[in-house]
Structure formats: structure tokens, C-alpha cells
């Protein structure tokens, strides 16, 4: 499978002249890594059910100007404290920040010496074939944001509204977000994707001791779009990451989340609801590494599949030697409601430590017919009863969002989706 | 009344329109309508209410939301305006008060994590809110402690009225200590084998169903 | 918490079947090429078609590469260093009956705890024993013949029932299915063949004991069980091998075919030499087992107790082609010292109303690594398919691992698939509870482990269940404390 020409062309664009040599070397090496392997394909275990190489010809070429009009106009899920990005590029400076919060465009940050930034950027593997999208992103390192919150500071909320321009929608855009929370810092990060074309975003996050990052992400991309996200997270002692993902779009979405619970007491809770309709394809790949004793993690993902929707779930929990007294729970439940839909799920546990409590469960099935009857016997019409039950199934994921404003905004989008859905 | 497997629950389920039953013979006429031709929700809107023997847990669906959807479905069916939330809550709170049920019930998901007694109380509460014309209570008394049994009985007694029929399905006389029935029918082998007044229930309690099997059924069979 | 000293103390169980029998053997020199395959075939006086079948498999094999996807650390295997044929040379020919079997061989079976005649007679089990590469005698042949059941060595079947063999060989596990299956198809030496005719309920349990005796040999047996319409058979296999420092390869293929209304129960107690406590030596047990529920209303049930081998790599599977067919997999896999196991099953639902159940219990002790890997696939046309999977892991000690890799692929909206898994260790509180009631630690552990495995043992024929339980206790000796 050949890599579409426009992707390769993109990599020929040089880095800004103001950038240091190491960043150019990093890009060049990543470029080699990407060109050596091309887009990931189904022979790679991590891409078994989502072969970008297999889909590239069919999708990327057909993405044309105009497809994204509706998407690019959509108002952000929350309209306060918004920073807007187009084709991966920040187009405004975002909200005001309290003292102790620094937010700047990546290109600007890179123009100054910054060892911490360098360390983060150089940490990612760009040579493995399964990491081809990371290699691509690094080779095209250009747009993005650097966000730092100082010790003990509550940065409040930041809403990132990712949009696309109608011009050049066929291109694949790359963006990078680097977030560091110092000990005791807090941030509520909300992301709203409504993007035509293809967007490949990597978040690198470092959570200091006792820091808290709440992250709620939703996407409502149009058909024939690609959204590839990757979150790489390193957590220090007693830090906490709460992540909720809501996929309502019609295109392809691939989400990788990799959490390293590097010090004791760290905890991450990952949750997601996905409702692929049409030909939508949603793939979650989660990799939670318990590296230190006494950490906790959970993965709670629920999906409802209609039409030709396709869902892939691969949740891995790896408890490394020495990470005793870990607790890990995984659950993936799917309602498969159409003849042409498909679910592929694989909840993995790799346990190499002692005193570990780990469990996982995965189900694929339909609505409980008895529950449908119960509702009908109270006078509720069958289609409404089914919608009510399906909604309840997904809502429970969104209900876990702590922040009431975010929760209600997401719930409203979910309800809208459920309403128009059937 | 009737022994296990006599068809009591089947009767209730068939009337309410539960899947998995096939009506091979006979018909169900209800207020001049052929009930069997209606969908379960239409039957409900026509005033049929089944209190389930095992009420279903529906995680994620809030009780208030659920009841309001049910009540408004009914109003819509009869061409009435939907109740706004103020009107609805007023009605709901009245019923809660009458039945001595705390209003934390409203904030919970339908039957989720409820004890057996709480589930049965919730069925009675729903019945009170929905005000059916025909209520079938399928072993609503089973597994209840005495307090819950009294709540259920009180709920039933309060709802008794000349334009409402209620069918209690039960094994035991116990419930009938609190609810005086107008008629007692005994089912066995899918048929009503004998009928009578409240005295029949007491006789069953004393002598058991064996009494029926020994002679009662034969008597009836001969007669038919 | 610090490592438990009692655990360490017990981690020194001895392999009880680690003797080898000093008998003269007829072996081929190590090495693998088309001549070796021709030599195997010639020695077994095989018909032309079978030689050609082997060579076709070999040519496919040459184009394949060793798989590396399993959660295993495998020392490279030098296939040219293995001898592909070794037969005990008892006089000129193969023994015709048990009485003619080399007494030393019989002694070996006695040591193994498989007293061929007594035990067979007592238990009413017909035993086919495969020693290295050839089958050395089948008991109860006469009784089986009366029922019309064919139970013989694979080589015999090739001669006496060529039509049946030709029809079914490779029909469940194609030659090129995987690297080791292709190798087996090229070089398989012997194995067992079972055919149960229409409507016959096999009057006794059929049983095979496998043993690798000679050094530097591989064992590549091939088993084919065909249950014709409406028949029933229960088949048991047991495996042992002597202690040797080098790793020995065992790459078997087992094919089961259940026609309409037939039922096959296949039980395995695998106790190949696991290597010593430092991970030296031991059998590489790379086995392809698959059953095809080809007919409607058929049923195939796999039960396995895996306590041996340095490395186990096997996934007894069911292809549920027939409507209303049922597949079952019950497994206990125990890894201790440096043993590794990557085992599980595949349930492929193709027909309507097909059902499958998977119960897997993994126990890891010492440095043992235990992985469950499974696939449940529901095809687009498989209406109302049902699967329930439960895989539980138990960790004993600090340096072992338990892993779960279940793949679930569902393409039909009437399917219901449920997977549950837990990982736990023997709780201090459970142990203390037992100790407080006066039960010794070792007994407590075996009691808890036994309870953990009960669901699987229940599926084994009675006397196998007793053996499996005993084996587990032996294998766990010293695992706790």
C-alpha cells in the first residue's frame, strides 16, 4: 500500500529557521521512521482492525473541499474559555489565565532553549511500524500548544475547539499538545473536535505529584474524516487523570491512550462512549502501565452500534513486576444493533506483580428485551423505550464527568445525537 | 389463586402483551376492544397495568423521568396535553405521601439496587401515579415483610373504586387479611377450576390445593 | 510486602516421570529435508498419496516463518538438530499384541502410572500408547470392534482404512494452518485414529498415552477422531517425557470431526517434562488442536489439564459450522518454576443457534508465566449465537505472571457474547482462615487451588479427575508458604 502523495509532500516542508538543531534532527529521524513503514496496516497487532493503509486510498482521496462546511461552523460544546484551532493550528490566543499558567504556541516555545520541552519531544518512539502515526506527527512537528501550570495553581478550564478550514481538507494535518502540571496543580481540559479531512493529534502530558487533570473530549466529525489521537501520559505520585471520551462522529476515529502510573498512589480513570452510525469507525486502544505499587486504574467503555458502524476496543492493563497492591478494572460493553455493524473487543490483562486485584469484562449483545417490555407495559412506545434504554446505557459514562458544566454540555450533545439518530 | 404452574402469571403476562406467549385459543375483550390486537404500550395506555412479579432493574433510567414519560405517553394517547414538570411533581409527591414512601425514590434509577420490598413498593407507587382501569398484581405480596405488605395492601385499598378492576395473583391468604377480595378464582392446569367469595381463600389456606385436586377439579370438570 | 518464605520452600517439586527407558531404538539421523520425509514414509510403508501429501505440506512449510505473537520467550529451535523418527526396535516388527510388547516398555508405562493392562482392564479404558513416534499397542481392540468402533494407530489406519483417512485428514487443520501444523503434516510419525460409526455410543473411554523417550527426537503425532452421525465418544490423552537438559519439540496435530448429532469429548492431562527449577530443559509443546462441529446438533468439548512442558502453545478450538452445534473448552493450566504457557481456545460461530462456553483457570507460581489467549468470533450468518467466557487467574508468589488476551469479534446483531475475567492471588485471609481451623498450609493451598479448578475437573472423566488433582498437587509442591 503506497502512502498518499500529499502526506509525503507535507514532510518535505522544512522546520522554521528559528528552531534548534535537535528539533530538526528529531524531525528528520521521524521522517525516516515513517517513510520506512508507511501508514499502519492490519498485519500490525495494534492496527489489526483499523488498517489506515487499507483505508487511505478509499478515504483520503475522496475528502474534498466542502465536506467540512458544517463541521467547521459548529459552535464549541462550551462557549467560554475557548481556544480555537484550525487544521491543527491555533488561531487565537485563548482565554485569560491566572498567574502561574503559561500557554503558548509550540512554534514560539521551540524558538527558545527549553530542555524540559526537548526531553518530552524526544521521548516518543518514532521508529516502530505501529508508531507510524507518531513518526508522521513528529516529522511534521510545527503546530501545537505548550501549556504549563505551576505548583499548586488551579488553571481552571480550557476548551480547545478543533475545526478545519474548507481549503485543503484533503490534507492530513498534525498537531502536538504538551501539558505539564507541577505538583498540586489542576486543569480541566475540554476538547471538541469537529473536523473534516484528517487530523493527527498527540498529547504529551506530565502530571506532577498530587496534580489533577480532568480531560473530556468529544468528536462529531463528518463522514469520510479521520481523527487520530494519542495521549501519552506520565503520572507522578498521587496524581490523578480523569478522562472521558465521547465519539458521535461519522468518520474514522482512532484513539490511543497510554498512561504510565510511574509512582505510587497515582490513579487514572478512563471512560468512553461511542455511537458509530453510518459508516463510522471508532477504535480505542488503551494501555495503562502500573509501574509502581499502590496505583489504581479503571477503563469503562460503552458502545452502541447502528448501520455499518464499527467499533474496536483494545484495553490493556499491564501491572509490572514490583507494582504490588495495584487495582485495575476494565469493562467494555457493546450494544450491537444492526446487521452490518461489527464489534471487535479485546480487553487485555498482563499481571506480573503480587497482591493485584484485577478484573475485566466484555460483552456484546442487545438491549434487555424484558426491560423493553417493562417500559412498554407502562405505556411507553417501543421505539421510545429502546431509545431510552440505549441512552441510559451511554449516559452512565457521561454522568461520571465530575464538572457539572462539562457534564451537562456533553449530555446535551449526546441527547441531541440520540434524538436525531432514530 | 392457584398452585405453582397453574397459569396465574401466564394470564397476567398474556393480558399485558409480554413476548414469548402464543394465544392458541380464545380472545381477550376489554372495554369493548380486542386487547390481543394491541401493542403492549397501547394496552397500557388503555389502562392495563401489570405489577411485575420480578420488577425489572433499568440502570441509568431515572425513576422520575421514567414515570413522566409513561404518564405523558398515556395523556398523548388520549389526546390530552402533556403534564409540565411542576404538575407532574405535584401529582407524584401526593402519591408518595399517601403511600408513605420517601422521595429519594425519585432520584434513583428504576428499581436499580432496590431490595425486594422496595421494588414491590415501587410497583404500587407506579400504579398509583398511572391510575389504571385494570391492574394485575402478580404475586406482589411474595417476599415482603409485614410492613411492606401493609404498604402494598394500603396502596391497593386506596385505589379501589367502582371504575377500576384489580386482579391480585397470590398463593396465600396472608395478603387477603388486609385486602378483602370481591371474588376468588382458583386456577389449575390453565383453567379456572372453581370460584367463590372470600371464604374460598380461607378454605384453601386451611386445606391446601390438594383438596381441589382430590375432588374439586373433578366436580368442576363434570359440570363443564 | 516481602516474598513469602513458605512459598519459596515449596518451590522445589520434583518431576516424578523423569526417567528414560534404555531400549534399542530405530532412529533416523537428525535433519529435515525431502529425503527424510520420504524415509519416514517408506519406513511406515505408506501409500504414494500420503507421501505426496507430506511433501506438499513440507513445501508449504518452507515458505512459512516461526510465529512470535504469543506471550512467550522461546529459545530458537534448530529443526535440523532433531531426529524426526525414532521407533523402539523390539525384534523385527512392531508388536502385534500387548504380550509382544517389550517388557521394558511396559515397565516404563508402569513407572508412568499407566499400567497398560491392569489399569486398562480395571478402568475399562482402551489405551493406545504412543512411545516416541510409533504406537505400541492398543488394548481392548476386540471389544471395540464388536461395536464397530475403529481405534488404532494412525499408521494402521492408513493401511486398513485409507478412505476414511483420506477423507478427513487435513480437513479440519489444513496443512498450512500454521508453522507447526505444517511441520507436523510433513513429518508426523504416528498417532491415533478413531472412527465411531453412525448411531454408536462408544462403549468405553478411549485413551492414549504419549511419551517422548529418545534424546534429540521430536514427537509429531497426529490424531484424527471422526464421530459419525448420532455417535458419541470420549477420548482421553495423557503425556509424559523423561528429564533431559535440552529442549525437545512436540508438535502434534489433533483433528476432530463431529457429524450431525454427534458428540466428542476430548480430555487431555499433559505432564510433559517441564524443565528443571532453573528453566533448563523441558518440552516445547506446540500443538494444534481443532474440532469441527460439521453437522447440525453436534457437540465438541475440550477439557485440558496442563501442568507440564517448558512451553505450552496450544488453542484447542471449535468451528461451529452446524446449526445448533455446541463447543466447550475447559482448561486448567499451571505454570511453575520457569514454565510458560500461552493457551486458550477459538470458538468460531458460523451456524445458527450455536453456543459456546469457555472456562479457563490459570495458575502461576515461581517464575511461571501463564497467558490465556482466546478468540470468540461470530460470523455474519450465525443467528442467535451465544458465548460465555470466564477466565480466572491465580498468582502464587511474586515473580510469576498471569495474562489475558481475549479477542472478541462479533458481526451479527443477534449474538450475545460475555467475557469475564479476574486475577487474584491466594489471599492471606483465606490461608489464615484454613490455618486457624487446623489445616496445614500445604493442604490449605491445594484445597484452595482445587476449589479454583473445580469447574474444570468436573468435566473430566472420574479417574482422570483424580489424576489431574493429584498432578496439580505434585506440581504445586513447594509453591506456597
DSSP state letter for B216: I
- C411 → chain A, closest CA residue: A342
Instruction: Report ipTM for this prediction.
Output: 0.84
CA A23 to chain centre: 25
CA distance B58 to B113: 10
Listed range (A61-70, A94-103, A282-291, A408-417) with the worst mean pLDDT: A61-70
- Asked whether the beta carbons of B164 and B132 are under 8 A apart, the reply is yes
Phi then psi dihedrals of residue B82, to 5 deg: -70, 150
- Chain C residues whose CB is inside 8 A of the A364 CB are 378, 408, 410, 415-417
- Both ends of chain B: CA-CA distance in Å? 20
CA distance A263 to A335: 37
Among B58, B112, B133, the residue to mutate for chain A (most A Cβ within 10 A): B58
Q: Which residues of C touch A (CB under 8 A)?
A: 1, 69, 71, 378, 380, 393, 395, 397-425
DSSP state letter for C28: P
CA distance B126 to C412: 37
- Asked whether the beta carbons of A229 and A255 are under 8 A apart, the reply is yes
- Chain C residues whose CB is inside 8 A of the A315 CB are none
C86-88 and C25-27 strand pairing: antiparallel
CA distance A267 to A281: 29
CB contact set of C170 (below 8 Å; sequence gap of 6+): C53, C185, C255
- Asked whether the beta carbons of B12 and B167 are under 8 A apart, the reply is yes
- Asked whether the beta carbons of A380 and B42 are under 8 A apart, the reply is no
CB contact set of C339 (below 8 Å; sequence gap of 6+): C274, C275, C282, C309, C310, C311, C312, C366, C368, C369
- Chain C residues whose CB is inside 8 A of the A338 CB are 413
CB distance from B74 to chain A under 8 Å? yes
**Residue contact B17–A374, C-beta within 8 A:** no
**Residue contact B60–A393, C-beta within 8 A:** yes
- Chain B residues whose CB is inside 8 A of the A390 CB are none
pLDDT over 80 (residue C476): no
Q: Which helix (H) or strand (E) holds C423?
A: strand C416-425
What count of residues does chain A have?
Answer: 422
User: A102 - beta bridge partners?
Assistant: A148
Place A74 in a pLDDT band, splitting at 50, 70 and 90. Answer: confident
**Residue contact A361–C418, C-beta within 8 A:** yes
- Asked whether the beta carbons of C202 and C309 are under 8 A apart, the reply is no
- Chain C residues whose CB is inside 8 A of the A334 CB are 410
DSSP state letter for B177: G
Residues B17 and B90 in one domain: yes
Nearest alpha-carbon partner for A316 in A343, A285, A348: A348
> If you average pLDDT over every residue of chain C, what do you get?
79
Nearest alpha-carbon partner for A258 in A283, A288, A229, A238: A288
**Residue contact A364–C408, C-beta within 8 A:** yes
CA distance A200 to C442: 56
**Residue contact B69–A374, C-beta within 8 A:** no
- Chain A residues whose CB is inside 8 A of the C406 CB are 346-348, 362
Place B85 in a pLDDT band, splitting at 50, 70 and 90. Answer: confident
Nearest alpha-carbon partner for A320 in A296, A286, A354: A354
CB contact set of A12 (below 8 Å; sequence gap of 6+): none
pLDDT over 60 (residue C398): yes
CA-based nearest distance A355→chain C, Å: 6
Q: Does B49 reside within a domain?
A: yes
CA distance A370 to A374: 6
- Asked whether the beta carbons of B99 and B129 are under 8 A apart, the reply is no
Query: What percent of chain A is modeled with pLDDT above 70?
Result: 93
pLDDT digits (tens, 9 = 90+) for B100-123: 888 888 888 888 888 888 888 889
- Asked whether the beta carbons of C298 and C333 are under 8 A apart, the reply is no
Query: What percent of chain C is modeled with pLDDT above 70?
Result: 77
The three cell numbers of residue B70 are 409513561
- Asked whether the beta carbons of C191 and C134 are under 8 A apart, the reply is no
pLDDT over 90 (residue C320): yes
Query: For position A261, what pLDDT does the model report?
Result: 97
CA-based nearest distance A218→chain B, Å: 21
Query: For position C136, what pLDDT does the model report?
Result: 46
CB contact set of B191 (below 8 Å; sequence gap of 6+): B7
pLDDT over 90 (residue B176): no
CB distance from B35 to chain A under 8 Å? no
CA distance C460 to C466: 9
Query: For position C236, what pLDDT does the model report?
Result: 85
**Residue contact A353–C403, C-beta within 8 A:** no
CA torsion, points C200, C201, C205, C211, in degrees to nearest 10?
A: 30
CB distance from B66 to chain A under 8 Å? yes
**Residue contact A338–C413, C-beta within 8 A:** yes
Among A348, A367, A370, A390, the residue to mutate for chain C (most C Cβ within 10 A): A348
Query: For position C338, what pLDDT does the model report?
Result: 85
Query: For position B220, what pLDDT does the model report?
Result: 43
Query: For position C309, what pLDDT does the model report?
Result: 81
Q: Which residue has the cell 504380550?
A: C99
User: A315 - beta bridge partners?
Assistant: A286, A347
Q: Does B2 reside within a domain?
A: no
Residues B113 and B189 in one domain: no
- Asked whether the beta carbons of B55 and B144 are under 8 A apart, the reply is no
How are the residues of chain B apportioned to helix, strand and coil, as percentages rounded to the nearest 5? 50, 15, 35
Chains contacting B (3 or more CB pairs within 8 Å): A
pLDDT digits (tens, 9 = 90+) for A221-266: 988 889 999 999 999 999 999 999 999 999 999 999 999 999 999 9
CA A247 to chain centre: 10
User: C219 - beta bridge partners?
Assistant: C250
- Chain A residues whose CB is inside 8 A of the C414 CB are 366
CB contact set of A101 (below 8 Å; sequence gap of 6+): A147, A148, A149, A150, A153, A155
Q: Strand runs (DSSP E) across B129-203, as ranges?
A: 134-138, 165-169, 184-188, 191-196
**Residue contact B73–A381, C-beta within 8 A:** yes
Q: Do chains B and C touch (3 or more CB pairs under 8 A)?
A: no
CA distance C17 to C283: 13
CA-based nearest distance C429→chain A, Å: 12
- Asked whether the beta carbons of B102 and B96 are under 8 A apart, the reply is yes
pLDDT over 50 (residue A338): yes
- Could you give the angle at the alpha carbon of A173 between the alpha carbons of A170 and A178, nearest 5°? 165
CA distance C421 to C392: 5
- Asked whether the beta carbons of B55 and A374 are under 8 A apart, the reply is yes
Q: Strand runs (DSSP E) across A225-372, as ranges?
A: 226-235, 240-247, 252-261, 267-274, 281-290, 296-305, 310-319, 327-336, 342-351, 357-365
> If you average pLDDT over every residue of chain A, what do you get?
90
| Helix A115-122 vs helix A21-37: crossing angle, to nearest 10 | 10
For chain B, the domain total comes to: 2
What count of residues does chain B have?
Answer: 224
C192-196 and C222-227 strand pairing: parallel
**Residue contact B44–A376, C-beta within 8 A:** yes
- Chain A residues whose CB is inside 8 A of the C401 CB are 350-352
**Residue contact C423–A45, C-beta within 8 A:** no
Is pLDDT larger for residue C67 or for residue C62?
A: C62
CA-based nearest distance A245→chain B, Å: 18
Query: For position C446, what pLDDT does the model report?
Result: 77
Place C298 in a pLDDT band, splitting at 50, 70 and 90. Answer: very high
The three cell numbers of residue C247 are 529442549
Place C107 in a pLDDT band, splitting at 50, 70 and 90. Answer: low
Q: Do chains A and B touch (3 or more CB pairs under 8 A)?
A: yes
Q: Do chains A and C touch (3 or more CB pairs under 8 A)?
A: yes
- Asked whether the beta carbons of A220 and A413 are under 8 A apart, the reply is yes
Nearest alpha-carbon partner for C45 in C113, C176, C134: C134
CA-based nearest distance C401→chain A, Å: 4
CA-based nearest distance A192→chain B, Å: 25
Structural domain containing residue B202: 182-224
Phi then psi dihedrals of residue B71, to 5 deg: -65, -40
Residue C53 CB neighbour total at 10 angstroms: 19
Q: Which residue has the cell 469457555?
A: C358
CATH of the domain at B83: 3.40.50.300
Listed range (C87-91, C262-266, C317-321) with the worst mean pLDDT: C87-91
CA distance B85 to C414: 38
Listed range (A306-310, B171-175, C322-326) with the worst mean pLDDT: B171-175
Chains contacting A (3 or more CB pairs within 8 Å): B, C
Alpha-carbon torsion (C192, C197, C198, C203), positive or negative: negative
Nearest alpha-carbon partner for C348 in C417, C401, C288, C400: C417
pTM of the predicted structure, to 2 decimals: 0.83
CA distance A190 to A76: 10
Residues B48 and B17 in one domain: yes
Query: For position C6, what pLDDT does the model report?
Result: 40
Q: Does B93 reside within a domain?
A: yes
pLDDT digits (tens, 9 = 90+) for C440-449: 777 778 778 8
**Residue contact A375–B74, C-beta within 8 A:** no
Per-residue CA distances from C171 to A224, C54, C165, C295 (Å): 42, 14, 10, 14
Q: Exposed, middle or buried by CB within 10 Å (0-12, 13-18, 19+), for B57?
A: middle
Query: For position C481, what pLDDT does the model report?
Result: 45
- Chain A residues whose CB is inside 8 A of the B17 CB are 373, 376-377
Give the CA radius of gyration of chain B: 18
pLDDT digits (tens, 9 = 90+) for A198-217: 899 999 999 999 999 999 99
Residues B143 and B35 in one domain: yes
pLDDT digits (tens, 9 = 90+) for A166-181: 655 467 889 999 999 9
Q: Which helix (H) or strand (E) holds A416?
A: helix A404-421
DSSP state letter for B215: I
Residues B166 and B217 in one domain: no
Q: What is the DSSP string of C106-152?
A: HHHHHHTT--HHHHHHHHTEEEEEEETTEEEEETTHHHHHHHT-EEE
B184-188 and B191-196 strand pairing: antiparallel
Amino acid at each position: 500500500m503506497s502512502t498518499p502523495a500529499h502526506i509525503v509532500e507535507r514532510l518535505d516542508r522544512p522546520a522554521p529557521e528559528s528552531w534548534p538543531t535537535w528539533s530538526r534532527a528529531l524531525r528528520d529521524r521521524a521522517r525516516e521512521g515513517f517513510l520506512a513503514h508507511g501508514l499502519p496496516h492490519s498485519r500490525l497487532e495494534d492496527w489489526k482492525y483499523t488498517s489506515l493503509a487499507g483505508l487511505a486510498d478509499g478515504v483520503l482521496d475522496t475528502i474534498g473541499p466542502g465536506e467540512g462546511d458544517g463541521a467547521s461552523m459548529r459552535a464549541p460544546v462550551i462557549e467560554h474559555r475557548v481556544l480555537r484551532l484550525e487544521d491543527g493550528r491555533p488561531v487565537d490566543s485563548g482565554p485569560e489565565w491566572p498567574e502561574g499558567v503559561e500557554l503558548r504556541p509550540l512554534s514560539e516555545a521551540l524558538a527558545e532553549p527549553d530542555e524540559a520541552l526537548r526531553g518530552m519531544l524526544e521521548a516518543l518512539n518514532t521508529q516502530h511500524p505501529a508508531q507510524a502515526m507518531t513518526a508522521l506527527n513528529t516529522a511534521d512537528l510545527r503546530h501545537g500548544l505548550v501549556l504549563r501550570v505551576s505548583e499548586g495553581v488551579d488553571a481552571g478550564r480550557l476548551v480547545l475547539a478543533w475545526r478545519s478550514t474548507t481549503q485543503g481538507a484533503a490534507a492530513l494535518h498534525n498537531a502536538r499538545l504538551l501539558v505539564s502540571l507541577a505538583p498540586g496543580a489542576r486543569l480541566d481540559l475540554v476538547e471538541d473536535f469537529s473536523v473534516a479531512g484528517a487530523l493527527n493529534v498527540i498529547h504529551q502530558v506530565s502530571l506532577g505529584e498530587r496534580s489533577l487533570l480532568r480531560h473530556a473530549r468529544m468528536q462529531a466529525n463528518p463522514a469520510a474524516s479521520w481523527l487520530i489521537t494519542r495521549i501519552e501520559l506520565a503520572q507522578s505520585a498521587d496524581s490523578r487523570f480523569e478522562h472521558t471520551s465521547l465519539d458521535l462522529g461519522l468518520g474514522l476515529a482512532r484513539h490511543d491512550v497510554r498512561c504510565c502510573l510511574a509512582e505510587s498512589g497515582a490513579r487514572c480513570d478512563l471512560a468512553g462512549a461511542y455511537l458509530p452510525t453510518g459508516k463510522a469507525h471508532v477504535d480505542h486502544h488503551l494501555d495503562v502501565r502500573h509501574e509502581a505499587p499502590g496505583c489504581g486504574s479503571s477503563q469503562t467503555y460503552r458502545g452502541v452500534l447502528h448501520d455499518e458502524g464499527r467499533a474496536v476496543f483494545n484495553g490493556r492493563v499491564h501491572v509490572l513486576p514490583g507494582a504490588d497492591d495495584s487495582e485495575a478494572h476494565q469493562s467494555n460493553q457493546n450494544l450491537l444493533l444492526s446487521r452490518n455493524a461489527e464489534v471487535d473487543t479485546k480487553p487485555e490483562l498482563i499481571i506480573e506483580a503480587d497482591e493485584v486485584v484485577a478484573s475485566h469484562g466484555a460483552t456484546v449483545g442487545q438491549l434487555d428485551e424484558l426491560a423493553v417490555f417493562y417500559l412498554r407495559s407502562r405505556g411507553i412506545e417501543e421505539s421510545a423505550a429502546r431509545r431510552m434504554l440505549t441512552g441510559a446505557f451511554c449516559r452512565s459514562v457521561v454522568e461520571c464527568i465530575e464538572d457539572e458544566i462539562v457534564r451537562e454540555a456533553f449530555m446535551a450533545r449526546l441527547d441531541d445525537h440520540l434524538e436525531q439518530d432514530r | 389463586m392457584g398452585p405453582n404452574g397453574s397459569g396465574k402469571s401466564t394470564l397476567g403476562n398474556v393480558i399485558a402483551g409480554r413476548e414469548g406467549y402464543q394465544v392458541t385459543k380464545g380472545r381477550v375483550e376489554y372495554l369493548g376492544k380486542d386487547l390481543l390486537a394491541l401493542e403492549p404500550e397501547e394496552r397500557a395506555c388503555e389502562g392495563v397495568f401489570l405489577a411485575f412479579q420480578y420488577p425489572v432493574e433499568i440502570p441509568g433510567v431515572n425513576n422520575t423521568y421514567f414515570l413522566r414519560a409513561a404518564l405523558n405517553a398515556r395523556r398523548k394517547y388520549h389526546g390530552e396535553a402533556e403534564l409540565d414538570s411542576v404538575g407532574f411533581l405535584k401529582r407524584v409527591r401526593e402519591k408518595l405521601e399517601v403511600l408513605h414512601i420517601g422521595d429519594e425514590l425519585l432520584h434513583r434509577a428504576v428499581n436499580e439496587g432496590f431490595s425486594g420490598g422496595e421494588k414491590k413498593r415501587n410497583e404500587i407507587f407506579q400504579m398509583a401515579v398511572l391510575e389504571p382501569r385494570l391492574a394485575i398484581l402478580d404475586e406482589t405480596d411474595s417476599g415482603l415483610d409485614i410492613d411492606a405488605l401493609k404498604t402494598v395492601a394500603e396502596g391497593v385499598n386506596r385505589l379501589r373504586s367502582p371504575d377500576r378492576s384489580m386482579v391480585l395473583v397470590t398463593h396465600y391468604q396472608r395478603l387477603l387479611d388486609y385486602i378483602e377480595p370481591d371474588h376468588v378464582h382458583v386456577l389449575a392446569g390453565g383453567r379456572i377450576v372453581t370460584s367463590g367469595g372470600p371464604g374460598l381463600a380461607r378454605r384453601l389456606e386451611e386445606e391446601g390445593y390438594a383438596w381441589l385436586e382430590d375432588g374439586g377439579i373433578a366436580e368442576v370438570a363434570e359440570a363443564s | 510486602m516481602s516474598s513469602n518464605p513458605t512459598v519459596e520452600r515449596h518451590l522445589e517439586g520434583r518431576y516424578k516421570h523423569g526417567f528414560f527407558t534404555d531400549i534399542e531404538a530405530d532412529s533416523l539421523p537428525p535433519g529435515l529435508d525431502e529425503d527424510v520425509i520420504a524415509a519416514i514414509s517408506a519406513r511406515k510403508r505408506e501409500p504414494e498419496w500420503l507421501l505426496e501429501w507430506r511433501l506438499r505440506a513440507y513445501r508449504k512449510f518452507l515458505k512459512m516463518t516461526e510465529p512470535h505473537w504469543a506471550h512467550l520467550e522461546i529459545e530458537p529451535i534448530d529443526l535440523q538438530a532433531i531426529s524426526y523418527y525414532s521407533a523402539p526396535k523390539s525384534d523385527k516388527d512392531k508388536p502385534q499384541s500387548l504380550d509382544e510388547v517389550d517388557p521394558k516398555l511396559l515397565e516404563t508405562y508402569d513407572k508412568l502410572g499407566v499400567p497398560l493392562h491392569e489399569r486398562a482392564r480395571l478402568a475399562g479404558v482402551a489405551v493406545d500408547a504412543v512411545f516416541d513416534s510409533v504406537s505400541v499397542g492398543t488394548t481392548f481392540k476386540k471389544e471395540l470392534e464388536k461395536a464397530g468402533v475403529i481405534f488404532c494407530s494412525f499408521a494402521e489406519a492408513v493401511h486398513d482404512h485409507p478412505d476414511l483417512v483420506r477423507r478427513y485428514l487435513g480437513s479440519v487443520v489444513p496443512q498450512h494452518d500454521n508453522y507447526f501444523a505444517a511441520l507436523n503434516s510433513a513429518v508426523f510419525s504416528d498417532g491415533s485414529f478413531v472412527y465411531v460409526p453412525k448411531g454408536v455410543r462408544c462403549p468405553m473411554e478411549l485413551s492414549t498415552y504419549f511419551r517422548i523417550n529418545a534424546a534429540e527426537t521430536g514427537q509429531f503425532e497426529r490424531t484424527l477422531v471422526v464421530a459419525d452421525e448420532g455417535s458419541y465418544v470420549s477420548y482421553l490423552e495423557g503425556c509424559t517425557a523423561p528429564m533431559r537438559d535440552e529442549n525437545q519439540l512436540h508438535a502434534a496435530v489433533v483433528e476432530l470431526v463431529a457429524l450431525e448429532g454427534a458428540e466428542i469429548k476430548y480430555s487431555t492431562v499433559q505432564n510433559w517434562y517441564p524443565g528443571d527449577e532453573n528453566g533448563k530443559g523441558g518440552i516445547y509443546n506446540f500443538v494444534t488442536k481443532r474440532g469441527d462441529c460439521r453437522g447440525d446438533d453436534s457437540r465438541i468439548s475440550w477439557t485440558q489439564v496442563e501442568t507440564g512442558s517448558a512451553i505450552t502453545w496450544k488453542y484447542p478450538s471449535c468451528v461451529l459450522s452446524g446449526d445448533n452445534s455446541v463447543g466447550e473448552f475447559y482448561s486448567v493450566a499451571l505454570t511453575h518454576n520457569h514454565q510458560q504457557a500461552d493457551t486458550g481456545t477459538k470458538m468460531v460461530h458460523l451456524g445458527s443457534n450455536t453456543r459456546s462456553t469457555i472456562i479457563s483457570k490459570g495458575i502461576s507460581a515461581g517464575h511461571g508465566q501463564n497467558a490465556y489467549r482466546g478468540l470468540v468470533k461470530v460470523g455474519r450468518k450465525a443467528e442467535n449465537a451465544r458465548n460465555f467466557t470466564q477466565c480466572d487467574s491465580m498468582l502464587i508468589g511474586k515473580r510469576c505472571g498471569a495474562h489475558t488476551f481475549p479477542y472478541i469479534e462479533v458481526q451479527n446483531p443477534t449474538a450475545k457474547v460475555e467475557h469475564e475475567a479476574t486475577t487474584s492471588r491466594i489471599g492471606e485471609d483465606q490461608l489464615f482462615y484454613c490455618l486457624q481451623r487446623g489445616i496445614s498450609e500445604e493442604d490449605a493451598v491445594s484445597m484452595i487451588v482445587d476449589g479454583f479448578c473445580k469447574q474444570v475437573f468436573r468435566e473430566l472423566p472420574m479417574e482422570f479427575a483424580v489424576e489431574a488433582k493429584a498432578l496439580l498437587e505434585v506440581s504445586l509442591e513447594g509453591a506456597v508458604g
